[in-house]
Amino acid sequence: MDFFDYIQFLWGKRKRIALILLVNAILIVVITLLLPNKYTARVKVLPPTDNSIGGGLDRYASIASMLGVNLGGSTQFGPVMFESIIKSRKILEPIIYKNYKTLEYKNREINLIEYFDISGESDREKFEKCMEHMRNEIISVLVNPENFITTIGITTKEAQLSAKIAKLVLDNLQNFNLKIIQKEALDKRRFIKNRLGEITDSLKYSENKLVDFLNNVSDPTLPIVQVVLNKKQREIEILSSILIELRKQAEILKLQEFSDLKPLQILEYPYAPALKSFPKRAVISILYMLGISVIIFAIYMMIFFRKNYQGKKN
| Pair 270, 142 in one domain | yes
Write out pLDDT tens, residues 122-152.
999 999 999 999 999 999 998 887 888 889 9
Phi and psi, residue 152, nearest 5°: -105, 125
Alpha-carbon gap, residue 119 to 128, rounded angstroms: 11
If asked whether residues 179 and 296 sit together in one domain, one would say: no
Residues 113, 5: one domain? Answer: no
Check whether residue 118 and residue 236 sit in a common domain. yes
DSSP track, 207-266: HHHHHHHHHH-S-TTSHHHHHHHHHHHHHHHHHHHHHHHHHHHHHHHHHHHHH-S---EE
Residue 20 shares a structural domain with residue 150:
no
Which alpha helices (H) appear in 13-54, and where do they start and end?
14-34
Instruction: Supply the pLDDT for residue 60.
Output: 54
Residue 310 lies in a domain: no
Q: What pLDDT does 122 receive?
A: 93
CB atoms within 10 A of CB 237: 11
| 17 and 113 inside one domain | no
pLDDT of residue 36: 85
Could you tell me if residue 144 is inside a domain?
yes
- Within a domain: 308: no
Position 307 in a domain: no
pLDDT of residue 75: 42
Same domain, 141 and 264: yes
Residues 83 and 217 in one domain: yes
CA angle 221, 225, 231 (to 5 degrees): 125
- Amino acid at position 299, single letter: I
Judge if 213 and 196 occupy the same domain.
Answer: yes
205 and 183 together in one domain: yes
Same domain, yes or no, for 77 and 50?
yes
Number of domains in the chain: 2
- Burial-class residue 130 by CB neighbours within 10 Å (0-12, 13-18, 19+): buried
Same-domain status, 7 and 83: no
Other CB atoms within a 10 A radius of the CB of residue 61 amount to 19
Write down the pLDDT at residue 155.
95
154 lies in a domain? yes
Domain residue limits at 231: 36-278
How many whole angstroms separate alpha carbon 296 and alpha carbon 9? 13
* Assigned domain for 313 exists: no
Q: Residue 19 falls within a domain, yes or no?
A: yes
Q: What CATH number is associated with residue 149?
A: 3.30.1890
Report the pLDDT value the prediction gives residue 154, as an integer from 0 to 100. Answer: 95
Q: Give domain status of residue 289, yes or no.
A: yes
Mean pLDDT, the chain, as a whole number?
81
Decide: residue 54, CB within 10 A, 0-12 exposed, 13-18 middle, 19+ buried.
buried
**DSSP 8-state code for residue 70:** -
Positions in the chain short of pLDDT 70: 1-2, 48-80, 180-182, 255-263, 309-314
pLDDT in tens, 238-269: 999 999 998 888 887 776 665 555 557 888 99
For 140, phi and psi rounded to 5 degrees?
Answer: -125, 140
Q: What is the pLDDT of residue 80?
A: 62
